[in-house]
Structures are given as C-alpha cells and as structure tokens.
C-alpha cells in the first residue's frame, strides 16, 4: 500500500506542526494539546449524515470506477465504507452514470453525492435516480436559469447541494475583475452562487473552494468562512501523488481544521480512494478532532533493529483497516528499548534476535517466536476489542 510508511508518518507530523504554529501566530484558540475550537455553522443533511453545527467532521471520498459499471462501483464503495468513509461522491458524466445511481443506492449504506459538471440535466436525472445530494460547479453549469432548474429538483427530492467552486473554472467576468484566479475571485464566485441559491429560497447548501495551490486554498476558505455561516467542505483539489498529496492535504486541510474551519473533508490523492479515507482520519486523529481506529506508533529503526519493520507495519495497518477502536499500538524494532520507548501504547510488539515480545503499557507480557509477531498482535487486538465491547454493554 504505502511505499514507505515512515515517510508518510513523518510528513503528516511535520505538516501538522506547521499548521498548529500558524494558528497560534494568528491568536486563534489552538493549544499544544491540539484542542481545536470549531466554528459553529448551519447544519445541513447529506442523506442521514449531518454536516455543520459542530456535527462530527465527516470523511468523504470519491469513487474512480466508471459509475455506469455498477458492480465495480459498489465493490469500491464497500471497501471505502469498511475504511470509514461516511459520504461517497460519484462522477456523473453521462445519462448512463445518472441511471446507475438507482442501482447503486440500494446496495450501499452511506449517502451518495452525484458530481455534476456542464450539464444541468444530469443533475436532475441523478437526483431523480436517488442521489442524496448534488455537487455542482456553478461556473460551468450554464447560467442562472439552469441552476434554478437544478434547485427546483433538489427541493422536490429533499436533497442538499454543494456549491463546488473550482479555481480552474471560475466565471469569465470574475476572472476579468480579479485579473485571473485569486482567492478573492474564488470567494466572489462562491458568494454569488450562495446568493443565487438563497434567492431561490434554497438553504440546504454547503460550499467548497478548491485549488491545487495550498496557500490560495487556505486563504480562500479563511475569507469565505468570515463571510458565511454555511457549512464548508474542505479539501485541496488535484493534490497529487501519494507524498505530495498527503503533504498538501495535511497542510491545507490541517491548517483550516486547526483554525476551526471545515465541517466535512475530502483528501484528494492519485491513488486508491481508500488511501484518501485513511489519510483523512490521520489528519483528524493528529489534531485530536476525531478518533477512529488504531493509532500506530512505530520506531524509526536504528542499528539495533534486525527485523523487517517496514513490512510488518504495513501488514498490521492492512489487517487493522476495519478496526474502529481507538487503540494505541506500538510496533518496535528491538526488545531492548522498544517497550520502554512505547510506554504510552495500549499494546505493542517488539522483535529482534529470533524472539518477539508482547507488551502492554510498556510492560512485557510474554515472549514468542519472532515469526508470530503479527499473529500475536492481532489476537491481542481482538481480545482488547472484545473486552471493550463487554465494558460498553
Ligand atoms: S526501538 Fe529499538 S530498534 Fe527501534 S529505534 Fe529504539 S532502539 Fe532502535
């Protein structure tokens, strides 16, 4: 999955430190324990998921299968659901894709957003096929009359709309006014379209302002957040390949979340969308905003490590993908210092010289043959989850 987990982990940490530092400079209430003070926005519904008004920040993704291929799309959505995806968006480039929504919807259990560009009739077809929400880019949907037709349909079907402003497709007059794409131009486009929808007495709106440039994206969201109480969908678009995408998303989304801006997020990566969901939760976990699933602590390795730690960490990550308990797991390279270095972990394993050890809260529990490291750890995680659900009962 990840080519190099260590680098991934380091990028997230560095990026978020930057984000926190920036927030403190601006005097916003974010302290070193990462207590984020969220801006209160209006609440809308995307299917059964509330967005805004301090509802948990939901994690979204987007399928990359042809939407008209129902079985491939459903199977990808199932994998995304297992990874914790809470809202899924599908591209609707043609009427086959719009019709496929009626076949996909009954087979999935998270809300579905239809993503529409250019053709307002596809938005109407997608809504009528059962989409829980629409994402339209008003800059390319073809003018106020067509937006009104989409809004009328959203009212009839009782669904919400995301105004998805994209730096690459701003209205021509706005581009002329601002002499090109700027954060203010993006905000102008968003405000114009918010006013248009509100003038049609439509209020189930959330807004996104995406650019591939992190600084511009952050500036645009800051400006818009000061001008509206509508919930915001936050992301950096076309963020890129794994490493650059993670860095840009952690910086952009992390900076905004640390300032209390953002009600739902989508990490954008040129990868399997399951990775977007994983990174989304890592950002939320690192900021202390939401906990879902294990937090893995692994040592950087040094000359004492004589096991293949990178591969073991990847195996454990894969095996834990659908685990929801917020358990802290340490995976350390040696039995000499590992448990001591991971005192904060709920459970952990360390390897070296043919022996593996299992430890809890830094205390050694038992030794076993090193090749059973992952097996022993997974059995311990299952035990931990069973005990936890007994306590919850
Ligand atoms: S846990 Fe062991 S292998 Fe890992 S960095 Fe510490 S001393 Fe080195």
Q: Which two tokens stand for residue 128?
A: 């009528």
Structure confidence at residue 34 (pLDDT): 60
Class of domain 5-286: alpha beta
- Give ranges for CATH 3.20.20.20 in the chain: 5-286
Average pLDDT estimate for 350-362: 87
Structure confidence at residue 391 (pLDDT): 66
Q: Is the pLDDT of residue 221 over 90?
A: yes
Locate the DSSP E strands across 138-279: 160-166, 205-210, 233-234, 264-266
Backbone torsion region of residue 29, taken as left when φ is above 0, otherwise alpha when ψ lies between -120 and 50, otherwise beta: beta
333 lines ligand 1 (CB under 6 A): yes
Rounded mean pLDDT of the chain? 87
Cα separation values, 30 from 22, 229, 256, 289, Å: 10, 21, 12, 12
Atom number in ligand 1 closest to CA 302 = 8
Measured by CA distance, the residue closest to atom 2 of ligand 1 is 334
Structure confidence at residue 55 (pLDDT): 95
CATH of domain 295-392: 3.30.413.10
CA dihedral (278, 284, 290, 293) positive or negative: positive
- Give ranges for CATH 3.30.413.10 in the chain: 295-392
The pLDDT-based confidence of 353 (bands split at 50, 70, 90) is confident
Structure confidence at residue 385 (pLDDT): 83
Residue owning tokens 């927030």: 23
Taking a C-beta distance cutoff of 8 angstroms, is the pair 195, 205 a contact? no
Atom number in ligand 1 closest to CA 305 = 3
Q: What proportion of the chain, given as a percentage, has pLDDT over 90? A: 64
Q: How far does the centroid of ligand 1 lie from the alpha carbon of residue 333, in Å?
A: 5
Q: How far does the centroid of ligand 1 lie from the alpha carbon of residue 351, in Å?
A: 10
Q: Is 108 helix (H, G, I), strand (E, B) or coil?
A: coil
Query: pTM score, two decimals?
Result: 0.82
299 lines ligand 1 (CB under 6 A): yes
Of the candidates 315, 321, 376, 247, which has an alpha carbon nearest to the alpha carbon of residue 82? 321
74 lines ligand 1 (CB under 6 A): no
Average pLDDT estimate for 270-280: 94
Structure confidence at residue 26 (pLDDT): 35
Atom number in ligand 1 closest to CA 352 = 3
Q: CA 113, CA 277: separation in Å to the nearest integer?
A: 16
Which residue among 300, 309, 333 has the greatest number of ligand 1 atoms within 8 angstroms of its CB, and so is best to mutate? 333
Among 102-106, 376-380, 381-385, whose mean pLDDT is lowest? Answer: 381-385
Average pLDDT estimate for 328-353: 88
Query: Strand 347-352 vs strand 328-332: parallel, antiparallel, or unpaired?
Result: parallel
Measured by CA distance, the residue closest to atom 7 of ligand 1 is 337
303 lines ligand 1 (CB under 6 A): no
Atom number in ligand 1 closest to CA 338 = 1
Phi, psi values for residue 369, rounded to 5°? -60, 140
Bigger pLDDT: 238 vs 313: 313
Average pLDDT estimate for 252-272: 95
Q: Is the pLDDT of residue 20 over 70?
A: no
């Amino acid at each position: 999955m990840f080519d190099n987990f260590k680098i991934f982990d380091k990028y997230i940490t560095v990026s978020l430190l930057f984000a926190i530092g920036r927030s403190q400079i601006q005097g916003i209430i974010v302290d070193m324990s990462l207590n984020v003070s969220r801006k209160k926005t209006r609440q809308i519904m995307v299917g059964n998921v509330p967005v805004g008004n301090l509802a948990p920040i939901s994690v979204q993704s987007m399928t990359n299968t042809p939407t008209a291929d129902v079985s491939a799309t459903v199977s990808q959505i199932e994998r995304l659901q297992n990874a914790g995806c809470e809202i899924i968006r599908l591209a609707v480039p043609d009427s086959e894709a719009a019709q496929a929504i009626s076949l996909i919807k009954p087979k999935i259990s998270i809300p579905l957003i239809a993503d529409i560009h250019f053709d307002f009739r596809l938005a109407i077809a997608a809504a009528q096929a059962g989409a829980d929400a629409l994402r339209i880019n008003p800059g390319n949907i073809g003018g106020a009359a067509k937006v009104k037709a989409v809004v009328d349909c959203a009212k009839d079907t009782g669904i919400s709309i995301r105004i998805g402003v994209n730096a690459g497709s701003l209205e021509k007059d706005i581009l002329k006014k601002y002499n090109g794409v700027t954060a203010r131009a993006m905000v102008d486009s968003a405000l114009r379209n918010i006013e248009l929808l509100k003038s049609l007495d439509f209020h189930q709106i959330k807004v996104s302002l995406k650019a591939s440039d992190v600084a511009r994206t952050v500036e645009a969201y800051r400006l818009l957040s000061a001008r509206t109480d509508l919930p915001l969908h936050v992301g950096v678009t076309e963020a890129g390949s794994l490493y650059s995408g993670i860095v840009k998303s952690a910086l952009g989304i992390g900076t905004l979340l640390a300032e209390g801006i953002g009600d739902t997020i989508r990490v954008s990566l040129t990868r399997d969308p399951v990775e977007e969901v994983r990174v989304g939760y890592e950002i939320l976990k690192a900021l202390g905003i939401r906990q879902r699933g294990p937090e893995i602590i692994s040592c950087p390795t040094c000359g004492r490590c004589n096991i293949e730690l990178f591969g073991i960490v990847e195996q454990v990550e894969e095996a834990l993908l659908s685990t929801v308990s917020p358990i802290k797991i340490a995976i350390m390279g040696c039995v000499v210092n590992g448990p001591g270095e991971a005192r904060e972990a709920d459970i952990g394993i360390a390897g070296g010289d043919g022996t593996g050890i299992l430890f809890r809260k830094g205390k050694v529990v038992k030794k076993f043959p090193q090749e059973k490291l992952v097996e022993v750890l997974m059995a311990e995680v299952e035990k931990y989850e069973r005990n936890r659900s007994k306590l919850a009962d």
